[in-house]
């Protein structure tokens, strides 16, 4: 059985769905169901009396087979992320935490130093730490060393829809990693998700591409199928690339066959 292993948890779905940016929670819940996702990200927000319907915990917990992966968005330092993780675990009961620390609210690029620090503390406390990082191969290895459950490098900037702009770096991260590599952020189309899986990613995390699609539940399903197809292709083994152009024969020193 080909499953995604994170800590002692296993998942048959390799699509992780974010729940932000949907027009309303009915559409979001439909999209979660359609995606078949078993890991779903949520964010911590201050309770607001005027908008009680904001709470997602109740509705999401009615969908069977869902494990929540709270994120630490809003944190701009390691201390804030650790604090958010503790509260999130209290609320969700889930050991998963997506460490996401972006000091700049415009581009939302992750801070590598604060992320590393928060991940180190949380991993030691027993969390299954899923750090959202720039596609930096050395940072990925450092995070692996301190016991993260996966690394989640970005394909391109959050919400940018630029696809796998970092594919060269992603290839290195995938090649060198002993923990699952999950592409998080930047994907726009299911074909990009399939491509990430063909490259050897263990899963992809998608949010904007579904939430901002014309018909989110349908797009969620399309992503699920693309991820499954990409994974199948990876396991089947892509055929060899066709040969390199040869200008001159450099092998005269070997003599004839």
Stretch binding other proteins (CB under 8 A), from 4-12, 161-169, 220-228, 244-252: 244-252
* Phi, psi (rounded to 5 degrees) for 195: -60, -45
Binds other proteins (CB under 8 A): choice among 1, 8, 62, 245: 245
246 beta partners: none
* Distance of closest approach, residue 138 Cβ to other proteins, in angstroms: 8
Give the CA-trace dihedral at 198, 200, 203, 209, to 10 degrees: -40
Binds other proteins (CB under 8 A): choice among 9, 66, 83, 189: 83
Give the CA-trace dihedral at 241, 243, 245, 251, to 10 degrees: 140
The residue count for binding other proteins (CB under 8 A) is 74
* Pair 103, 114: CB distance under 8 Å: yes
What is the contact mask toward other proteins in residues 205 to 234, using x (rule: CB under 8 A)? x-xx--------------------------
Binds other proteins (CB under 8 A): choice among 58, 64, 105, 106: 58
Could you say whether residue 91 binds other proteins (CB under 8 A)?
A: yes
* Distance of closest approach, residue 228 Cβ to other proteins, in angstroms: 20
Of 31-50, which residues contact other proteins (CB under 8 A)?
41-47, 49
* Pair 145, 178: CB distance under 8 Å: no
Stretch binding other proteins (CB under 8 A), from 84-92, 162-170, 190-198, 221-229: 84-92
Could you say whether residue 185 binds other proteins (CB under 8 A)?
A: yes
Q: Which two tokens stand for residue 62?
A: 């009615």
* Distance of closest approach, residue 22 Cβ to other proteins, in angstroms: 6
* Distance of closest approach, residue 135 Cβ to other proteins, in angstroms: 16
Q: What positions carry a catalytic annotation?
A: 98
Upper half-sphere CA count for residue 201 (Cβ side, 13 Å): 31
Of 121-180, which residues contact other proteins (CB under 8 A)?
121, 126, 141, 145-146, 158, 175-178
In angstroms, rounded to a whole number, what is the distance separating the alpha carbons of residues 45 and 42?
10
In angstroms, rounded to a whole number, what is the distance separating the alpha carbons of residues 103 and 112?
11
Could you say whether residue 89 binds other proteins (CB under 8 A)?
A: yes
In angstroms, rounded to a whole number, what is the distance separating the alpha carbons of residues 243 and 237?
17
Binds other proteins (CB under 8 A): choice among 21, 107, 168, 232: 21
Could you say whether residue 68 binds other proteins (CB under 8 A)?
A: yes
In angstroms, rounded to a whole number, what is the distance separating the alpha carbons of residues 104 and 120?
22
Could you say whether residue 77 binds other proteins (CB under 8 A)?
A: yes
At 181, is the secondary structure helix, strand, or coil?
Answer: strand
Element (H, E) at 183: strand 182-184
């Amino acid at each position: 059985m080909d499953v995604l292993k994170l800590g002692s948890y296993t998942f048959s779905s390799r699509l992780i769905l974010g729940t932000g940016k949907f027009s309303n929670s009915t559409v979001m819940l439909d999209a979660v169901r359609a995606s078949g996702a078993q890991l779903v990200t949520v964010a911590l927000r201050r309770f607001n009396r005027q908008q009680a319907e904001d709470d997602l915990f109740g509705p999401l917990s009615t969908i069977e087979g869902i494990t929540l992966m709270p994120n630490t968005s809003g944190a701009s330092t390691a201390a804030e992320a650790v604090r958010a993780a503790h509260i999130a675990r209290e609320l969700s009961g889930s050991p998963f935490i997506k460490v996401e620390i972006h000091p700049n609210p415009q581009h939302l690029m992750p801070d590598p130093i604060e992320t590393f620090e928060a991940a180190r503390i949380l991993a030691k406390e027993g969390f299954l730490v899923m750090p959202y990082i720039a596609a930096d191969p050395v940072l990925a290895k450092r995070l692996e060393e301190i016991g993260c459950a996966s690394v989640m490098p970005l394909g391109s900037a959050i919400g940018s829809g630029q696809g796998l702009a970092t594919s060269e770096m992603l290839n290195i991260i995938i090649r060198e990693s002993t923990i699952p590599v999950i592409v998080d952020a930047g994907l726009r189309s299911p074909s990009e998700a399939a491509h990430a899986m063909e490259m050897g990613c263990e899963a992809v995390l998608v949010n904007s591409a579904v939430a901002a699609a014309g018909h989110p539940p349908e797009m969620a399903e399309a992503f699920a199928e693309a991820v499954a197809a990409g994974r199948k292709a990876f396991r089947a083994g892509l055929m060899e690339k066709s040969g390199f152009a040869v200008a001159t024969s450099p092998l005269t020193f070997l003599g004839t066959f």
